[in-house]
Amino acid sequence: MRVLLSGVAGFIGMHVAERLLREGNEVLGLDNLNTYYDVSLKQSRLNLLRRFKNFTFSEKDVRDNKNLSGAFDACEPDCVVHLAAQAGVRHSIENPREYVSTNVAGTLNILEECKRKTVTHLVYASSSSVYGASNDLPFSISSDTNHPVSLYAATKKATEMMAHSYSDSFGLPTTGLRLFTVYGPWGRPDMALFKFTRKILSGEPIDVYNHGLHQRDFTYIDDIVDGICRVLNHPPKERQDLLVSNSNPIISQAPFQIYNLGNNQPVKLLDLINVLSDALDLEVKTRMLGPQIGDVPDTLADITESIRDFGYSPETRIEKGVGSFVKWYREYYDF
């Protein structure tokens, strides 16, 4: 396949591109290389991908419709994996317009190009944050998502609704993936595991919000990549004979689908810190704090539909995943 992948220099984007390239697909990767975090880390990810002859990189911003159109014309993609987004819950509180312009307007540009080129499948990243502060665990794809507690979550919910409108109006097959707390080698520096590791190795105390009592469905990067690549080969189809139910907002006659990609194994933050301490073989100094604005209490993915429809099967336990991250971190930063 020819795959256009936005956000290719990002954490998940790099890993997905590498998997697709190893499988023999042609990948045109787009990224604007913004300065939300260390650009040199993004460049290092790209250098890894440049080893493949079937990889092409183009520095483009999904918000720039003219340049995006040029990329689609150059690639003539069969499928699109749209991972470009402004990430970070807390950053969205301070920079709301950046999230609307990138996550909403940028996704609109992607949808327009997919429609223009009659792309056979658009797979895009949503987020577990759309479930808000619900205590109805595990989160099912049919759970209520109408009460986001951060603008980041609201923009992700918006992209799902936009995708449905294009699936319904133009027959564009779209699949949204609600990703649950992804971690692993080449991860994002603004994520808890990355920040904790850096501070522990430097002998600094780590800030533990909500006194470490909340739990997250930490999902290892290889399991997320496997899910994305599996679903890419399963575009949704129109289901005109389907009885649409108002009680299940995900059911649609359009070629539209939403899935959860998580580990289905929640881990308390305090337990994660203990696992990290063991992997580093270092004592951890903690500074216990209250909850942060925009944080949700707990997350846990119901992955029933992902297992049923495309054989999704997360396998990585937290001890193995954290160990792999620590090994990469020490090697990359020579620590």
36/11 Cα distance (integer angstroms) = 13
The amino acid at 318: I
The residues pairing with 175 across neighbouring beta strands, listed in sequence order, are 123, 257
Give CA angle at 153 (36, 315), nearest 5°.
85
Residue 126, CA distances (Å) to 107, 220, 240, 242, 317 in order = 11, 17, 26, 25, 23
- The gap from C-alpha 87 to its chain's centroid, in whole angstroms, comes to 9
> Who's near 181: CB < 8 A, 6+ residues apart?
128, 216, 217, 218, 219, 262, 299
Nearest one of 63, 46, 48 to 99, comparing CA atoms = 63
Verify whether residue 166 is a known catalytic residue.
no
What does R_g of the chain's alpha carbons equal in angstroms? 19
Q: Letter for the amino acid at 151? A: L
Phi, psi of 5 (to 5 degrees): -125, 115
CB 114 within 8 A of CB 166: yes
Instruction: Quote the DSSP letter at residue 47.
Output: H
Q: Residue 144: what residue type?
A: D
From the list 152, 220, 259, 329, the catalytic residue is 152
DSSP string computed for 280-310: HT----EEE--PPTT--SB--B--HHHHHHH
Let me know the angle formed at the C-alpha of 265 by 230 and 131, rounded to the nearest 5 degrees. 75
* Catalytic residue positions, numbered: 152
